[in-house]
Structure 1
Amino acid sequence: MTSFRLPSLALGALSLCAIFLGTSCLNDDNLIGPNCFDGILNNGEELVDCGGPICQPCDPCENGVWDQVLGEQWVDCGGECAPCDVNFNGQLDPGETGIDCGGDTGIDCGELCGDGLLNGNEIDVDCGGPDCEVCPSCEDGLLNGEELGVDCGGPDCPACPTDGDCTNGLLDGDELYIDCGGTICPPCDGNMDWKANGTELVADFETTCSLDGTTLNLGGVSITTDAIGMTLPEPSVGWIAGAQIALNESSAPAGVCTYNAPGGQMYTSAQPGANFTVEILYILPEAGGIVVGTFGGSLIGSDGTGGISIAQGSFLLPIN
């Protein structure tokens, strides 16, 4: 009878598997699912392994927020947290040319224009001064801030007039969006276009947009039967212009993008390695409102193989 012996290293590995795992090494049937101790941002967590619906609350001294009610002097420092670094304390200190920048800090004040804090030489958060963009105002001829029309509407500007010009390329009067909607202008037509692996496509067969609670569902189908759908949960900053929604394995199933290509191939943002982003440019988040934005990224085949690149996507969709 023929006999054989396994090398000692192989026997040792098998023994360890049996000791620690009971019967066999990790495989597709016994992998540990996403949890609050895996070092990965998932499960709806606010930060890695904390916050969200199932994990322990995040340490307020490590959440990236200036919790003034907890006594913090600046973001995650002071009060009950560790003392603030002299170069990161929200104050203009000797040797600095702006709050927490310039001079001895080695930090260019212009680098602080997108951090969501009032620092550098800013007049308001991330705007104004010599380094950042001009702050929104009711007299700058731009649709910005919380305005409903150019330099009108919202909490700060005067009410928008109701006799808008439907051909001036501006959002004025009671228009739903630029030169469309409202009591005078023609209805806003939904449209969506994108590039799939470099091929330009238009949702010339169908577009859809609905609001389910606080979740937006967008979709478009071309006459070539390419179909894209996006489920967008409300971002942490709310439904505002400039909000970005990342769709990937961690955001699914609450936030996901799917793509059906001609021939039946299906791609999704829910697979590992996928990375898709939607940016909101303008929105009235209500039935009868409208949403305008851009999208793009990479999707992976629903079976985990292959992929498709979506680029230069844009949409203007009335909300049903």
Structure 2
Amino acid sequence: MRRNKQEPELKIVSHRGASGHRPEHTLASYELGARFGGDFMEIDLVATADGTLVARHEPEIGDTTDVAERPEFADRHATRTIDGREYTGWFVHDFTLDEIKTLRATERIPDVRPDNASHDGDYEIPTLQEIVDLAGRMTKELGRRVGIYPETKHPAYHTGLGLDLEPPLLAALLDNGLTGPEPELPVFLQSFESESLRRLVDAGLPRVFLMGTEEHWKPYLTPEGLAGVAEFAEAVGPAKDLVIPRDEDDTLSEPTSLVEDAHAAGLVVHPWTFRSENRFLPADLRSGGAPDDFGGFAAEYEAFFAAGVDGVFTDHSRHAFLAREIYLEGE
């Protein structure tokens, strides 16, 4: 049976918006992701010095804003250690919201996405509230609910600065009618840190435990580990290689048991991150063109849909939408 087209079971999560087409974490990127068929706007949240939540990939913003070109902020240049890794640059938490609003977004990977880089300087850094407002407007305009999918980014690090991410996130959700079993818009809450998800339990919303491919994630990938995750989350967001790894020749292998095991534990599965450029695709799905040309992305989505995932994080929402349409028509 064809799934409900209004809110299909296979979710398309616009990763930092339509970040394959506009600089990530901008209102333009989020709007385009919704227009391209995305069900959710995925948001990495960090805090300003005065405690406002804004959307940036990391606390360090030298690669995603024009701050390095702003002489008035030269004295903010610093080196910080975040979760054991040293970063040098400019950090959101050293700026007030008013100061952040004077900056303009830039493309994080300009060599890969030069068309995005042509928009450098066009867009502000959005707040969480501005993105929530946009999701509401797009819901009305498109005639279908467009949700939000916020991530607490390095929450323990922020706590060490006295800038807890969870209280302002919970307050924003409550103020916008986005808590409880029937929120105004669909919401998933995500984090790589289990303690942050535990602190978000009062929202009454599905929580997603993000997992990478590094060795320390392995204990979570067993049936027993996933059962433990189900004590503080309702979903997992694994790196996609944990669902379908690649062979030595960089082609897709057979699916692991992760989806089946997660479902057995009562967990939804939303892997990350799907990208359509050749350089990111399995070797046998590349087009033969330049590394940054689009390849056979639909076949990759089909393999993961067939493996039973419940949704995908994607930089190219339109491609995921079309691949989903093709896949569901064939069911």
What TM bracket, shorter-length normalisation? Answer: under 0.3
Higher helix fraction (1 or 2) = 2
Of structures 1 and 2, the larger Rg is shown by 1
TM-score, length-normalised on structure 2?
A: 0.26
TM-score, length of structure 1 as denominator length: 0.27
Q: Structure 1 or 2: larger strand share?
A: 1
User: Which one scores higher on RCO, CA 8 angstroms, separation ≥ 6?
Assistant: 2
